[in-house]
Amino acid sequence: MQNLLWVGMGGFLGANARYLMTLWINEFVIKRAGQLPTWVMFPYGTLVVNVLGSFGLAIFGVWFGSRVGVSPNVKLLVGTGFFGAFTTFSTFANESLVLAQDGNWMPFILNVLVTNGLCLLGVVLGLMVAGRLFGG
């Protein structure tokens, strides 16, 4: 039961952080939408949180793995709870499908390729940064 509380607390923080960051990123993009061609309009907020989450989880994983005696509750709170709720594969998949269903093929293709590529790059960079910081 205690594990559920740790995951739940982290999830609460991660989901709210994702929501607020997505609102902020999308508002930022919408303010500049008149300057952007329509073919580059796709879910930037989801892209940003997924890339940052991939980067952050990689750093956290190396940090956690390099520490002796760190409570498993920290892993549940931050790794499973926060980053699990902060990143969102289901939203990415749904937003991608909506783009395709609306016939926005270029944004659909860009969203799928850019999100997957940048998330993988985020993990690689996170592992590199964490390796330098924590020797992991």
Which residues, 6+ apart, have CB-to-CB distance to 54 below 8 Å? 87, 118, 119, 120, 122, 123, 126
Looking at this protein, which amino acid is placed at residue 129?
A: V
Q: Is the pLDDT score of 132 beyond 60?
A: yes
Total residue length of the chain: 136
pLDDT digits 0-9 by tens, 57-101: 999 999 888 887 789 999 999 999 999 999 999 999 999 999 999
Q: What residue segments make up the domains of the chain, in order of their start?
A: 2-134
* Angle, CA of 70, 75 and 77, to the nearest 5°: 120
The share of the chain scoring above pLDDT 70, in percent, equals: 95
Quote the pLDDT of residue 70.
82
pLDDT value for 120: 97
Q: Mean of the pLDDT values across residues 95-122?
A: 95
Cα–Cα dist 59/69, whole Å: 18
Distance of CA 101 to the CA centre of its chain: 24
